[in-house]
A and B are shown apart, each in its own frame.
Chain A
Amino acid sequence: MSTHIVLEEPKPQPVPESSGEATTRRAFLAAAGAAGLCYTAALGYPIYRYLASPMEMASNATAITEVTLKDAQKLPTGSVLMFKFGTAPAMLIHHADGKWVALTAVCTHLGCTVQYEPQADRIHCACHGGVYNPYTGANVSGPPPKPLKLFKVAVNDTGVDVSRA
């Protein structure tokens, strides 16, 4: 193995380079860099879009402004109906006094899904004990920094329409 000829790569010249050579090398490096960037983009773009597809579908779903809950007008007083507004959970409450209220059901603290407690007449988050007013969505006690968002509610003979306020 050691006796055969090894063809040496041409060694860089020790003499100072002429400016022409420096330019061609710079031009070559720039072209190679540009080609590398093109390849990265051509491979990266489809992969990014592929992986991001569900995010796009979700953003299409969150773009909706109204949800019709069929037969929800039959909801007894003092009870709640959980539904999805876009991709996020929401709640429709039929209060004991006959009032209808719809709110997002995502706690403004750390995003747990909250629950309506009719006997205590409050909305409670089990994760960290946040409490909201079930009529206005106002944050009453515990860690939540903001109120729950209210939706507009329209009750008719066939169901309940919930829309962005």
Chain B
Amino acid sequence: MISLAALSVAYAGGRRALDGVDLSIAPGERVALIGPSGAGKTTLLRVMGANLRPTGGQLQLDGLDPWALNARQLQGLRGRVGKMYQAPPIPPRQRVITAVLAGRLGQWPLWRAVASLIYPLDIDGARAALAPFDLAERLFDRCDQLSGGQLQRVALARLFYQQPQLVLADEPVSALDPTLARSVAVALNEDAKRRGATLIASLHAVELALSEFSRVIGLREGRIVFDRPAAQLGVADIEALYAGVPYASAPEAHNPDAPSARPRLTRCA
């Protein structure tokens, strides 16, 4: 499904966000990415989602190199990949139903997208996607009337409505309280198991990674430190992964010139 060989991503200025990553993920695997912030988790997910072009090495998704495809094929490939983010990228004034239906924009022809904006075409489908999260009755509310946790569950419903073969989740539960975080992580895993989809999620909560996912990859400074089944990971591995990383200042480990308080917006741009 996904294979990376000697893959690296270097930013202007020479800093390497990923440095010689070799990785192969089979269909249906459920993988957690852990590591200190700045380790390259987001970059790795963006590369695997064909959103960021690697500067070196090989990448294959579904047996294809996404950057050798033409624009239409690349769009089709992206349509089979679902993504989740720490902050759900949903316009605040959008209705919940529209936000959920937007999950299939990659599969719908343009006339259908426009028609659905005027009158929602698949109300039942959106309702079914929201039902597991107790949000079915909020179908016609605006997203700015929801709490942060509810909004993240709307993003999850959008993902389930899209039914992608590959789910890439970048810190999907980091902004949620522990109970909700677990329920979202469980829902992601249950959905992937049921549909046989591949799931790759970056997490800060190590215990969630160990309890819910089948395979755990530890990243640090753009390199893979370990890659093994969750059951074979010990406390020592985890401690070694995070060893010597002071809270919050880890990103600057690569870049001693930068002032430590500077927000690292460039990585997300």
Is chain B a partner of chain A in the same complex? no
